[in-house]
Amino acid sequence: MAAKKTTNITVYRKKNHVNIGIIVFGAIFVYLIVLVLLYLTDRHVSAYEVREGSILKDTAYTGLVVRSETIVNAEESGYVNYFATEGSKVGAKTNVYTVSPEELNFKTNGEEESQDLTSEEKEALLVKVQSFGENFKDEEFHDIYTLKDHFSSVLESKSNQSRQAQLTDMLETEGDRLKVHKSAKDGIVIYSADGYEQIALSDITEDMITKQNYEQKNFKDNRKVNAGDPVYKLITDDIWNVVILLNDKTAKEMADIERVRVRFSKDNETAVASFQIYNTKDANLGFLTFDAGMIRYAQERYLDLELILEDESGLKIPKSSVTSKEFYIVPEDYLTQGGNSKSAGVLVDEGKDQAVFHTAEVYYRDNETGMVYLDPAVFEDIKSPILIKPDSSDTYALKKKKKLKGVYNINKGYAVFKQIKILCESEEYYVVEEGNDYGLANYDHIALDSDSVKENDVVFQ
C-alpha cells in the first residue's frame, strides 16, 4: 500500500468582517431610545399661538333718565282721546288730544283689517322682556305691571292711525261735542307720568336710581279726567341726562374722566356722553349728559347701559403665559459693535486700561429714557462690571436693574424671553402691543404656562 502523501496546506481562520450598516442602525436605534426616554421623562410645554385680538372692558348699569319735561293738565272734565302718536315730535298748534262729554266709539280691528306687529316691533318687545328678566328683583315686583302697560301701549298703538283718521272724521261730523286741544310749544309728546318730571339733578337719591317705590301711570284713550288732571307730558329739550350709581372703586378710577362712550342695551346704539361724578354722603352718582338721541328713549325712565371704558386691539395672550425678568438698564450710547462682528454689545473695563467687547443682546429699548435692557447673565462672571463708552473716557457702573414683563417664545424649539407691553386685560387674557421690535409678532408660539419652562430650556411640545 502506498504511503499517504503529506501536503503543505495551512488552514486559516475566517476573518470577521465589520458590518457598517448594523453599526449605523444600532446607533440610530440607541439615539431614538434616548429621545423617547427624554420625551417621557421631561416636562412637556403646552404652546399657545399668538393671534391678533381685542378686549372690550365695559360695566353694566341701570340709570335714571332726567329730562326737561312739562306736565300738561286738562282744562276741563271729560273723556280724553289722542291725535298724536306717543314718542313723536309735535309743533306748536299741533292737535294733541280731544275732550268729549262721553266715550267715543271707534271701529275695532274686527271691523277693519287687522295689523300684525312688524319685525322691528317684535324685536323691541323681545329686548324689553330680556332686559326685564335680567334685572328683575323680588322687591321690584311692581315692574311687572310697568312691563304689562308697555305691551298694552305697543299693541294699542297699532290702531293709532285708524283712530286718528276716525277722530278727524268725527270732528267734521260731530265737531260741536268734541273740543280739540293743541300743543302750546314744540316737543316730544308722552302719555305717561311718574312724578319725576320736575326733579333736579341735585335732588336725585340712591333710592330713585334703584327704583324704590317707583310707579308710572299711563294715559289711555277714552279715559275719564277732571279739570286739572294730567293728560300728557311734553319733552322740550334735546339735552338729557342719565344718572348711575357707582361703587367707591369705580368712582375713584373714573375721577378724571370727562367723556365716556356708552352702549344702550335697548337697541345696541352707542353714544359719547359728558361725564361727571357727584359724591353725596350716601352714594357716588355718575352723571352722563347727552345732546342727541333722546327721542329713541323718550318713553323710558330707566335705561340699561354699559360704559365702554377700554376697547384695545393688539396681540391677545393668556395671563398664564406671562412672567417677568430682571435686566441691567444701560444708556443706549454705551452700545457698540465688536470688531468685524455685527452683533451689538458693550465694552467692559477689565483693568490695566484694557477694554474687552462682550456681546449683549438688547431685550428692550426705551425711547423715552434712552435706556436699553441687557441680560445680567452676560456679566455674571465679572465682578462689579464697569462699561466704557465708545470713543470716550466716560464709564458706567452696572448696578441699576429693572424688571420687564414678558413671555417665553418657543418658535425655535427653546425658550427665549420676549418683553411685552400690556395695553389692557380681561379676567383671562392680556392684549399687548404689536409691532414692537423686541416683542411678539402675530402667529408666534409661546409657552402657555410660564411656570412650566425656564429660559433657554429645550421645549418639547
Supply the pLDDT for residue 111.
Answer: 43
Question: pLDDT (tens digit, 9 = 90+) per residue, 438-461?
Answer: 999 999 999 999 998 999 888 866
Percent pLDDT > 90 in the chain is: 47
Query: Which three cell numbers mark 327?
Result: 435686566
Burial class (CB in 10 A: 0-12, 13-18, 19+), 31: exposed
The neighbour count for residue 29, using CB atoms within 10 Å, is: 10
Supply the pLDDT for residue 312.
Answer: 80
DSSP 224: E
Residues 382, 387, 390, 391, CA torsion sign: negative
Which has the higher per-residue pLDDT, 435 or 73? Answer: 73
Supply the pLDDT for residue 137.
Answer: 65
Query: Which three cell numbers mark 268?
Result: 345696541
Q: What's the mean pLDDT in 265-293? A: 91
Phi, psi of 291 (to 5 degrees): -120, 15
Supply the pLDDT for residue 197.
Answer: 94
Query: Is the pTM higher than 0.75?
Result: no
Distance (Å, rounded) from C-alpha 320 to C-alpha 35? 29
Identity of the residue numbered 440:
L
Distance (Å, rounded) from C-alpha 453 to C-alpha 407? 10
Distance (Å, rounded) from C-alpha 445 to C-alpha 437? 16
Identity of the residue numbered 139:
E
Who's near 449: CB < 8 A, 6+ residues apart? Answer: 45, 46, 320, 321
| Predicted confidence (pLDDT) at residue 176 exceeds the cutoff of 90 | no
Q: Are 312 and 55 in contact (CB under 8 A)?
A: yes
Residue spans of the domains in the chain: they are: 73-115+159-200+213-234, 240-313, 319-452
Q: Which residue has the cell 423686541?
A: 438
Residue-by-residue DSSP string for 40-80: HHSPP--EEE-EEEEEEEEEEEEEEEE--EEEEE-SS-EEE
Which has the higher per-residue pLDDT, 107 or 187? Answer: 187
Question: 68 pLDDT band (50/70/90 cuts)?
Answer: very high
Question: pLDDT (tens digit, 9 = 90+) per residue, 353-394?
Answer: 788 888 899 999 998 889 999 999 999 888 888 999 998 888
Distance (Å, rounded) from C-alpha 357 to C-alpha 334? 11
Question: Apex CA 28: angle with CA 26 and CA 31, to 5°?
Answer: 110
For 94-113, give one letter per residue: b (16+ CB within 10 A) or e.
ebbbbbbeeebebeeeeeee
Pairing of strands 192-193, 270-279: unpaired
Measured CA to CA in angstroms, residue 252 lies from 10, 309, 347 at distances of: 107, 14, 49
| Predicted confidence (pLDDT) at residue 402 exceeds the cutoff of 90 | yes
Taking the CA of residue 229 as centre, how many other CA atoms within 13 Å lie in the half-sphere pointing to its CB? 17
Pairing of strands 230-235, 187-190: antiparallel
Pairing of strands 344-349, 355-359: antiparallel
Q: Are 303 and 296 in contact (CB under 8 A)?
A: no
Question: pLDDT (tens digit, 9 = 90+) per residue, 92-132?
Answer: 888 899 999 888 877 654 444 445 667 777 777 787 777 77
What number of residues does the chain have?
A: 461
Supply the pLDDT for residue 145.
Answer: 62
Distance (Å, rounded) from C-alpha 245 to C-alpha 254? 13
Residue-by-residue DSSP string for 246-309: E-HHHHHHTTT--EEEEEETTT--EEEEEEEEEE-SS-EEEEEEESS-GGGGTT-SEEEEEEEE
Q: Which residue has the cell 444701560?
A: 330
